[in-house]
Amino acid sequence: MNLTKEEVKAMNKAILLSTPHMSGKEQDYIQEAFDTNWIAPLGPNVTEFEQKIKQYTGASAVCATSSGTAAIHLALRLLEVGPDDMVFCSSFTFIASANPIKYLGADVTFIDSEPETWNMSPQALERALADAKKEHRLPKAVIIVHLYGQSAKIDELVTICESYGVPIIEDAAESMGSTYKGQQSGTFGDFGIYSFNGNKIITTSGGGALVAKDPKMIEKAVFLATQAKEKALHYEHEQIGYNYRMSNVLAGIGRAQMEVLDDRIAARQNNFRFYADQWKHIQEVEMMPELQNSVSNHWLSAITLDIDKTDMTPYDVMAKMQELGIETRVLWKPLHSQPVFAATPFYEHVQGEEAVCEQLFRKGLCLPSGSNLTQEELEYVSKALETVLKTNKGGVVSAI
């Protein structure tokens, strides 16, 4: 259905991509931190928050961190990644997935996506590992991302990595609460990381968590995240550490957010289903595919456009949606095509064809996906996209 002038006028609030959604109980836990004067990067809120993540995900141990990026950095350190080592990473992701590789002076090889999940292609990974083995330079880790909440083909990827003896770090920053064959995203690899940045499915304003198969690794993570302070009566240091622990004040927000995680997931899944239902008759729009045996938290609802039919790029659509007060965003620009990673090796899904992640970047768009969107706002967005796609490239939508 099309938007009317009246509907555009009546919508006097910007509709954003993904905003924090508080439950109201956060203040109680923050107050507790103040009442007990635990205003520090440790304390009861941190312990409780970690306990809740552990219970929810089934991970064997958890370390809350100051960010998701810090958690990736810690995981790479624990796998003893250093200068001149190699690490493989998904290309189709936010740059935070790969930055910690460079913090440690290591080299990176990027791996393409495959079309069914938009995540790491098992066949490209297999080829990259076979080549690396020939060159006697197997990676110290493979960082696998679950984009927009959609699980990668994790069974296949795990089997391939195991056959080469290479550990996995799952970047589950966007996929907390998603499952694959009933198992929680982030718990398949040797390490998993979550992010609680302001735009994520739940938030502590800024923060993250590291989980690991081996609880001893989490003990070491806590050690490294608190300046690698040895047990002694004075300050004794045998290694270089970091200041990466989560604040007890922010963990109070996290405690309350964990209590509503299931509601937040249900709301975002509902957004995706609503859009899918509204646009099923629009041939130019395809929803992000869903992998069998997996449940996505649908952190962001993403689509691809048939840009030959629309005669509009995602940037054109983004600009027109903006005119209607709606924030949308093109998909992640592949990291192998970022200037900062120029001349970095990259393995395509099918050799010699346009990379899958490049195609997706050319065609894709993320839509408003917050768990706090109202039914009215969802309807407005769905009508807006339909309206925008009916205008031609030069047309002005606000004049409808």
Interface with ligand PLP (CB under 6 A), residue from 33, 145, 251, 330: 145
Q: Residue 79's CB: how many other CB atoms inside 10 A?
A: 21
Stretch near ligand PLP under the rule CB under 6 A, chosen from 16-24, 150-158, 168-176, 213-221: 168-176
Smallest gap from residue 208 Cβ to ligand PLP (A):
5
CB of 197 to ligand PLP, least distance (A): 4
Phi, psi torsion values for 66, nearest 5 degrees: -75, -20
The least distance separating ligand PLP from the CB of residue 365, rounded to whole angstroms, comes to 17
- Helices marked H in 83-136: 99-103, 122-134
Q: What are phi and psi of 260, to 5 degrees?
A: -115, 10
Angle at CA of residue 242, ends 236 and 243, nearest 5°: 100
Q: Which C-beta is closer to ligand PLP: that of 68 or that of 186? A: 68
Q: Which stretch binds ligand PLP (CB under 6 A): 167-175, 176-184, 238-246, 365-373?
A: 167-175
State residue 47 phi and psi, 5-degree precision.
-60, -45
Closest CA to 105 of 80, 125, 78, 129: 80
Among 174, 316, 348, 358, binds ligand PLP (CB under 6 A): 174
**Coil, helix or strand at residue 349:** coil
Q: Shortest distance, CB of residue 338 to ligand PLP, whole angstroms?
A: 14
CB of 268 to ligand PLP, least distance (A): 14
CB closer to ligand PLP out of 8 and 70: 70
Q: Give the tokens for residue 149.
A: 């909440």
For residue 218, give Cα distances in angstroms to 8, 87, 126, 209.
51, 21, 29, 10
The residues in 57-116 that bind ligand PLP, with binding defined as CB under 6 A, are: 67-69, 93-94, 96-97
Per CB under 6 A, the list member of 18, 109, 150, 195 interacting with ligand PLP is 195
Distances in Å between the alpha carbon of 86 and those of 7, 80, 193, 270, 346? 54, 11, 20, 40, 13
Exactly one of 45, 121, 197, 310 binds ligand PLP (CB under 6 A); which one? 197
* 175 near ligand PLP, judged by CB under 6 A: no
Binding site for ligand PLP (CB under 6 A): 67-69, 93-94, 96-97, 145, 171, 173-174, 195, 197, 208
